[in-house]
Every structure is written in C-alpha cells, then in structure tokens.
Amino acid sequence: MSDQLIKGLHHVTAMAGDPQANVNFYSGILGLRLVKKTVNFDAPDVYHLYYGDETGNPGSIMTFFPFKNIQQGAHGVGQAATTTFSIPKKAVEYWIKRLDHFNIKHKDPQERFDEIVIYFEDYDGLGLELVANDMDDRAPFSYGQIPLEYAIRGFYSVELWENTYELTESLLVNKMDHIFVNESGPRRRYSTSEKGKPGQIIDVLWDAQKRYGVGGSGTVHHIAFDTPSDADQLAVRDRLMQAGMYPTQVLDRQYFHSIYFREPGGVLFEVATTPPGFLYDEDVKTLGTGLKLPPWEESRRAYIEKLLQPIELKPENYASPY
C-alpha cells in the first residue's frame, strides 16, 4: 500500500443522447481514442463508451452513457459542471481554428492563473474547456486527423460548482490527499501534488446564489479519483467512513474496481483502482474496436447487439484543412 492513496483523476462519466454524435465529437473533433466500447452494467441496452489516450491511462478517460430520448440537464450547484482537457500552449490558435471549422461555438480565450482557457460545449451541452499549459509531459494520441504536437494530453482538471467550499475542502485535504494550491475570487484550486500538475487538479467554484443543477443529457454523472491498488482503495474507504461518509461496497467494473459516495456539496465521487486497466480484454492495436460485455451478459450478446444503435468510428472525416 502506498503512502499517497489518491494519485489524481481517474475518469469522468457524463450523460449523453445520440451515441454516434458522441463518437463523432470525442473521437472525431477532439481526437480522443475510443478505448472501450461496452455497455452500462446496470442497463445493458445502453452503451458505455470510454475515450482516452492510447491505452486509457487514468487521468485521460472520459466516459459516457448515451441514452436515447434522455431529458436535457442543466448546469448548476452540486455538479462537476466543467471538465477540462490539457493542450500545449502552442496549440491555442490551432484549436480555435479547429472548433470554428466544425462550427463548435466557444468563448474567446481567457487567462486563469498561468493558463489560457477556451470554453466550449459538446453536442449535448456538456461544459468543456481546453487549458493551454507547459506543464504536461504525458504522451499525446491521434488517429491522424490532428497533428500530435497539438493533440490533447488528457484531463487538466475538473470544476465543481458548490454553494460553499469549506466542507468539500475538508474532505479533499484531510481524507483524499489533496492540498490547497491557489485561489482567484470564488475559485479555489486543489491538487494531489504541490505544483498542481495536469490530471491532478480539482477547482471548486463556489456561489451561494447559483441554482442547483439538474441531471440529464449534457451533465456529469460522477467523477472518479485514481488509487493504485485494491488495498489502497480499502484504506480510502476506511478514511471516508471515519469522516462520516457512506461509501458503497467495492464494485467490480471489469477494468477497475470502484467505490462511490456523495461529497458534502452533492457531487457523486468515485474512487477507482488503476488496475486491471483497459488492456484487460483487448491489446493495444485493437483497443476499442469490439463490443465488450461483462461475463454475465455474454450469453445474451445477440439480443443486446440488436438493442444497441450501430456506431462507426471515422476520424478521417474530421481532418482539418490546415
């Protein structure tokens, strides 16, 4: 068991509508690798789509439950309202042109701390940002439609919307290995490292007057933190219970093991193990190409496949003309 039980972000899971539009946006426009195509273990007629870097390393994994006819959600307090991706500073102009080319509305670049930030939303209205920085040494991935030098490196941070910060801060700092690293107005930043490295950052944006969010399409369902092993996860669970939290029992998600609980501001947190990882049932070359089912659903494969809308991965359709 390691001394630091929480290493940073593991994944972010959000709700979406049309699965093909979701693939087009995240693998086509953003250039993330579709690292796993499986189903919602609790609703196997719905995909669970995972995107990330080449092998789906923790801190790069964005996942979606695309439900047909899902109601539109609304951003607000009690949500992880904005998910941010890390890009090099030299990539800002490239990404502005790319978003414009594909008619993705975005805000003008803004300065935040020592970063340059571009806010935009996906087809379902999910709040996203590209954060340009020179601190990220993680390897980029590209299907070829985006030059590697400009490609996304993984998550930069997740932004929580709260009506106050004190109880959430206490949980992050005292029980989840985060430290307070910076603040600007109502934004308070925490990280699992002193320098606040990309993929390890949580921003709390607090406003007692802001309305509460409504779950649905275009909202985050939960955020997951990375822990190295099963033993570390159990140690985190003990810490949480001592702090008055009510984490679930450990659940087997095939590619990681999970516990879930609500932080004091209402955001659903997960702590997920690094292993087994996404190479558990596919090799690097074929990652994300086949429909993977949990063992207990394999006997119903033909039935489940008929329920699922066919999706195609065509990143070549999203090459930029520059």
pLDDT of residue 210: 86
pLDDT at 2: 58
Contact residues for 220 (Cβ-Cβ < 8 A; gap 6+)? 12, 13, 14, 15, 79, 80, 81, 83, 126, 158
Domain ranges for the chain: 8-318
**In contact, 234 and 227? CB cutoff 8 Å:** no
Residues 36/50, Cβ–Cβ less than 8 Å: yes
Residuewise pLDDT in 10s, the chain (322 residues): 558 999 999 999 999 999 999 999 999 999 999 999 999 988 899 999 999 999 999 999 999 999 988 999 999 999 999 999 999 999 999 999 999 999 999 999 999 998 999 999 999 999 999 999 999 999 999 999 999 999 999 999 999 999 999 999 999 999 999 999 999 999 999 999 988 899 999 999 999 788 999 999 999 999 999 999 999 999 999 999 999 999 999 999 999 999 999 999 999 999 999 999 999 999 999 999 999 999 999 999 999 999 999 999 999 999 987 7
Residues 244-280 have pLDDT tens digits of 999 999 999 999 999 999 999 999 999 999 999 999 9
Fold exhibited by the domain 8-318:
2,3-Dihydroxybiphenyl 1,2-Dioxygenase; domain 1 (3.10.180)
Predicted pLDDT of residue 164 = 95
Please report the sign of the dihedral spanned by the C-alpha atoms of residue 44, residue 236, residue 168, residue 202.
Answer: negative
Residues in the chain, overall count: 322
State residue 101's pLDDT score. 96
Q: What is the 3-state secondary structure (H, E, C) of 117-156?
A: EEEEECCCCCEEEEEEECCCCCCCCCCCCCCHHHCCCCEE
